[in-house]
Amino acid sequence: MRLRRRHVRRLGEVPERHRDTASRQRQEQRAADLHRLDAALLTFHRCCLPCCHRGLLPRAVPRSECLVHYSLLSNMFVIDKLIIPGRRCGQRREDLVDHDARAGSAGLGLDGKRVLLTGAASGIGRATATLLAGLGAELVLVDVAPLAEVEAEVRRAGAKATTRVGNLADEPFLQALAAEEGIFAFANCAAVFSREGWREDLSAEARFDLLMRINVRAPLVLGNAFVDRMGERGGGFIVLVGSAAGRNGGGIAGGTPLDYAASKGAVHTLVRSLSRHGVGRNVLVNGVAPGPVDTPLARGLPFAPSALPLGRMGRVDEIAWPIAFLCSPAASYISGAVLDVNGGAFVG
Q: Give the catalytic positions in this structure.
A: 260
On whether the CB atoms of residues 154 and 161 are closer than 8 A, the answer is yes
Query: What SS3 state is found at 227?
Result: helix
CA angle 129, 315, 160 (to 5 degrees): 10
Query: What SS3 state is found at 340?
Result: strand
Looking at the DSSP bridge assignments, the partners of residue 142 are 118, 164
On whether the CB atoms of residues 26 and 48 are closer than 8 A, the answer is no
**Alpha carbons 136 and 113: distance in angstroms, whole number:** 8
Cα dihedral sign, 201-202-207-210: negative
**Alpha carbons 242 and 117: distance in angstroms, whole number:** 15
In Å, what is the CA distance from 220 to each residue of 50, 102, 269?
36, 32, 11
Four-point Cα dihedral 271, 274, 275, 281, nearest 10: -150
On whether the CB atoms of residues 80 and 30 are closer than 8 A, the answer is no
Q: Which amino acid, 120?
A: A
Looking at the DSSP bridge assignments, the partners of residue 213 are none
Query: Of 338, 346, 324, 263, whose CA–CA distance to 129 is shortest?
Result: 324
- Ordered strands of the 338-341 beta sheet: 161-165, 138-143, 114-118, 185-188, 236-241, 283-290, 338-341
